[in-house]
Amino acid sequence: GAAWGLYLRIDRQRLQCLNERREGSGALVFRAWEQRGDRAQFVESDDDEELLFNVPFTGNVKLKAVMVLGGEGGTHPAELRLFKNIPHMSFDDAAREPEQTFALSRDLTGELEYPTKIARFSNVYHLSMHFPKNFGAETTKIFYIGLKGEWTEARRHEVTICSYEASANPADHKLEQMTPQTHFIS
C-alpha cells in the first residue's frame, strides 16, 4: 500500500477535474490505497462520458503504475490516456498524441495495475489523465485513482542578481604581494 502514496504529493489546491458533475469531487478519488474500496466518495461526469484530470505534483515524480476503480455496469471508464507536463490541459488539447494509452478492464475491487512506460514518465511535475469513453453508459463514474511511483523534491532555481564588470578595475583587485611563477609546457 505504501507504494501507492503519490496521492500525498498532489498539489490539491491546483488539482482540476473537467466535466465533473459535483464541484470538487474529482479530488476525492485520489486517496490512500487502503481506502480504495470506499464507495461514498466518487466523481461522476456531467454532460457526457468524458473526464479530464489535471494533476499537479509538489515535486517531480517517476510514475510507475496507475490503478482505476470505476463504477458498476457501463459507467466504468474503458480507456485512459496519459499526458505529462501540460498544465491547464483542456479537452481540445486532448486531441494530441498521448504519452501512453491504456485499454481499461472493469475493476471494482482494486486488483488491476496498469504499468507505465517509466522512461516516458520519469520527470513528471504535472499529469493529465483523460478518460474519453466508458463501457456504454451516459456518464462515467470513478471511485479511486491510484498513482504508484517515486517522488523527489523539485529543485527551484532562485533568481540570482549579478553585476558584471565591463572592464576590470585594477583598484578592486589589489594583491599584497605577488610572486612570479614560470610554467613550462613541453
Q: What is the CATH number of the domain that holds 84?
A: 2.60.120.470
Cell of 184: 613550462
pTM score of the predicted model: 0.81
Q: Do residues 24 and 103 lie in contact, with contact meaning Cβ atoms separated by under 8 Å?
A: no
Question: For residue range 27-36, what is the model confidence (pLDDT) as tens digits?
Answer: 999 999 899 9
Across residues 19-27, what is the average pLDDT? 94
Q: Please tell me the total count of domains within the chain.
A: 1
Q: What is the pLDDT of residues 115-146, one digit of tens each?
A: 999 999 999 999 999 999 999 999 999 999 99
2: confidence class by pLDDT, cuts 50, 70, 90:
confident
Tell me, yes or no, whether 23 lies in a domain. Answer: yes
Residue 24's region, left for phi above 0, alpha for psi from -120 to 50, else beta, is left
The dihedrals phi and psi of 135, each to the nearest 5 degrees, come to -90, 30
Those residues whose C-beta lies under 8 Å from the C-beta of residue 60, and which sit 6 or more positions away, are 123, 124, 125, 151, 152, 153, 154
Query: CA–CA separation, 144 vs 68, rounded Å?
Result: 6
Higher pLDDT, 67 or 175: 67
- Residue 12 to residue 30: CA distance in whole angstroms: 10
Provide φ and ψ at 165, rounded to 5°.
Answer: -90, 135
Query: 33 is in which domain, residue-wise?
Result: 6-153
Q: What is the pLDDT of residues 52-97, one digit of tens each?
A: 999 999 999 999 999 999 999 899 999 999 999 999 999 999 999 9
Summarize the confidence of residues 91-104 as an average pLDDT. 96
pLDDT at 183 (0 to 100):
66
The verdict on residue 166 lying in a domain is no
Q: Is 159 contained in some domain?
A: no
